[in-house]
């Protein structure tokens, strides 16, 4: 049976070119700064993001955690969106491990924070208050349907942050998707952030890894916090080699994922019992509502026909990626259509 895995772009496998590069990678002990392949990847990443330096971490969650710990002290707070990945899906790491409080404000439909609301949320210096030590944005914004933040969107919040001398962190797990969708260099999207993390192991198809980019001093601090959380690794060039291939050759192809997402969204919009606004989907995350039937039962039915995805909730997310072809989208739409029609008839 055909299998189409739409659960996430994290399910992507390394490309044959990555596997070759990994097998041939020159390695060294990165805790001594001796891994030439990782050093090359970090230099490439810093250059691409337009920052002075970069440090490799195991995951996007670790990238955000290490960034927060590097910006904030125990007893400080960070201002982030109420639908941000940091707040909702990273197990409260900064609070659990760093004693950092989360001050959440409203994310709008596009995942934006209102600069005035950010400003109002910043705590004045007062013995009663936590110190606001970081402001966080997310681009693309996962819960907002992969929505992109433009340079101007980020700048509006950065201006507030700068005025109050508070660092701005960008969770850019999928910033390359934003860059391709907006046809804007990733360095411009990251320009107003003091630190930015991006993931190699989502749309870029690497097996492991994320990178934090920022100023020299910040990245030095991040290296220390990475050590604290047990994230320093040794012959990491084996996985860094895949990252080099990704930055060299996997970015432009994200446009294909976006085209497939659009095709998927347009097709889903034609199916009864599904509610979706296809025009609002500029990248590779396709969110929609099941408006008719039991979502858990429907998910089971599509799973039986080889479509991985769906959930017991009404709001579903399908994700396009390197492992998904235009033909897979046709197949997924056929399955969704027949399952929803069977459901309506039963
Ligand atoms: N997101 C994953 C799951 O956690 C939901 C996904 O499938 O989308 N920032 C953003 C915006 C993310 O979407 C994710 C992962 C992360 C950070 C964390 O990255 P990892 O999974 O590498 O820790």
CB atoms within 10 A of CB 251: 17
Percent of the chain predicted with pLDDT > 90: 97
- What is the tens place of the pLDDT at every residue in 177-235? 999 999 999 999 999 999 999 999 999 999 999 999 999 999 999 999 999 999 999 99
Q: Which helix (H) or strand (E) is 154 found in, with range? A: helix 151-163
Residues of 79-98 as b/e, b for ≥16 C-beta within 10 angstroms? bbbebbbbbeebeebbeebb
CA pair distance 300, 273, nearest whole angstrom: 16
At residue 280 the predicted structure's pLDDT band, cuts being 50, 70 and 90, is low
CA dist., res. 301 & res. 310, Å (int): 10
- Count the alpha carbons within 13 Å of 319 in the hemisphere toward its beta carbon: 20
Pairing mode, strands 285-290 and 274-275: antiparallel
Residue-wise pLDDT for 287-323, tens only, equals: 999 999 999 999 999 999 999 999 999 999 999 999 9
- Which CATH number is correct for 14-249, 3.40.30.10, 3.40.190.150, 3.40.640.10, 3.40.50.2020? 3.40.640.10
pLDDT, tens digit, 9 for 90 and up, residues 128-175: 999 999 999 999 999 999 999 999 999 999 999 999 999 999 999 999
Q: How far apart are CA 253 and CA 91, in angstroms?
A: 32
Closest CA to ligand 1's atom 3:
89
Question: Residue 1 pLDDT more than 90?
Answer: no
State the pairing for strand pair 131-138/76-81.
Answer: parallel
User: Distance from the CA of 201 to the center of ligand 1, in angstroms?
Assistant: 10
For 24-28, the CB contacts below 8 A with 24+ separation are: 24/241, 25/237, 25/238, 25/240, 25/241, 26/237, 27/235, 27/236, 27/237, 27/238, 28/235, 28/237
297-303: long-range contacts, CB 8 A cutoff, minimum separation 24: 297/343, 298/339, 298/340, 298/343, 301/339, 301/342, 301/343, 302/335, 302/336, 302/339
Mean pLDDT estimate for the chain: 97
pTM of the model: 0.97
Mean pLDDT (whole number) for 63-71: 98
Whole-number pLDDT of residue 344 = 87
Beta strand pairing call for 195-199 and 210-214:
antiparallel
Q: Residue 7, Cβ neighbours under 10 Å: how many?
A: 15
Closest protein CA for atom 21 of ligand 1: 60
Residue to mutate, 199, 212, 261, 287, ligand 1, most ligand atoms under 8 Å from C-beta: 199
Q: Which atom of ligand 1 is nearest to the CA of 141?
A: 11
Query: How much is the average pLDDT of 28-33?
Result: 96
Q: 314: which DSSP letter?
A: S
What are the start and end residues of each CATH 3.90.1150.10 domain in the chain?
Answer: 253-345
Q: Which whole number is the average pLDDT over 55-74?
A: 98
- Does the pLDDT value for residue 117 go beyond 60? yes
d(CA 317, CA 148): 17
CATH 3.40.190.10 for domain 253-345, yes or no, is no
Pocket test for ligand 1, best of 61, 62, 140, 173 (most atoms within 8 A of CB): 173
Which one, of 40, 16, 3, 81, lies nearest residue 240 by Cα?
A: 40
Q: Closest ligand 1 atom to the C-alpha of 61?
A: 23
Which among 62, 84, 85, 204 is the best mutation to test ligand 1's pocket, defined by most ligand atoms within 8 Å of the CB? 85
| Maximum CA extent, the chain | 65
Spatial distance between the Cα atoms of 225 and 219, rounded to a whole number of angstroms: 10
Give start-end residues of each CATH 3.40.640.10 domain in the chain: 14-249
């Amino acid at each position: 049976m055909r299998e189409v895995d739409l659960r996430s772009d994290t399910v992507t496998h390394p490309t044959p070119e990555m596997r070759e590069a990994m097998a041939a990678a020159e390695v060294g002990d990165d805790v001594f700064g001796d891994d030439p392949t990782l050093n090359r990847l970090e230099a490439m990443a810093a250059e691409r993001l337009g920052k002075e330096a970069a440090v490799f971490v195991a995951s996007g969650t670790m990238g955000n955690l290490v960034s927060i710990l590097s910006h904030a002290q125990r007893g400080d707070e960070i201002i982030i969106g109420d639908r941000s990945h940091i707040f909702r899906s990273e197990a409260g790491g900064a609070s659990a491990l760093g004693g950092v409080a989360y001050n959440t404000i409203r994310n709008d439909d596009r995942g934006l924070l209102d600069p005035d609301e950010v400003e109002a949320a910043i705590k004045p210096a007062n013995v009663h208050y936590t110190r606001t030590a970081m402001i966080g944005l997310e681009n693309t914004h996962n819960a907002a349907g992969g929505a992109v933040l433009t340079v101007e969107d980020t700048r509006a919040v950065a201006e507030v942050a700068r005025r109050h001398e508070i660092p701005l962190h960008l969770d850019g797990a999928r910033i390359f998707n934003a860059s391709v969708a907006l046809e804007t260099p990733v360095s411009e999207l990251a320009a107003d952030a003091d630190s930015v993390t991006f993931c190699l192991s989502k749309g870029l198809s690497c097996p492991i890894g994320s990178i934090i980019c920022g100023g020299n001093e910040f990245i030095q601090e991040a290296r220390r916090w990475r050590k604290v959380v047990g994230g320093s690794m040794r012959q990491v060039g084996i996985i860094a080699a895949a990252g080099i291939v990704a930055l060299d050759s996997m970015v432009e192809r994200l446009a294909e994922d976006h085209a497939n997402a659009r095709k998927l969204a347009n097709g889903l919009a034609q199916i009864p019992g599904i509610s979706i606004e296809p025009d609002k989907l500029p990248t590779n995350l396709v969110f929609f509502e099941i408006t008719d039937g039991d979502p858990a039962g429907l998910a089971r039915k599509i799973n039986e026909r080889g479509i991985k995805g769906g959930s017991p909730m009404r709001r579903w997310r399908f994700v396009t990626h390197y492992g998904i072809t235009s033909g897979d989208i046709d197949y997924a739409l056929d399955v969704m259509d027949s399952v929803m029609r069977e459901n309506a008839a039963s």
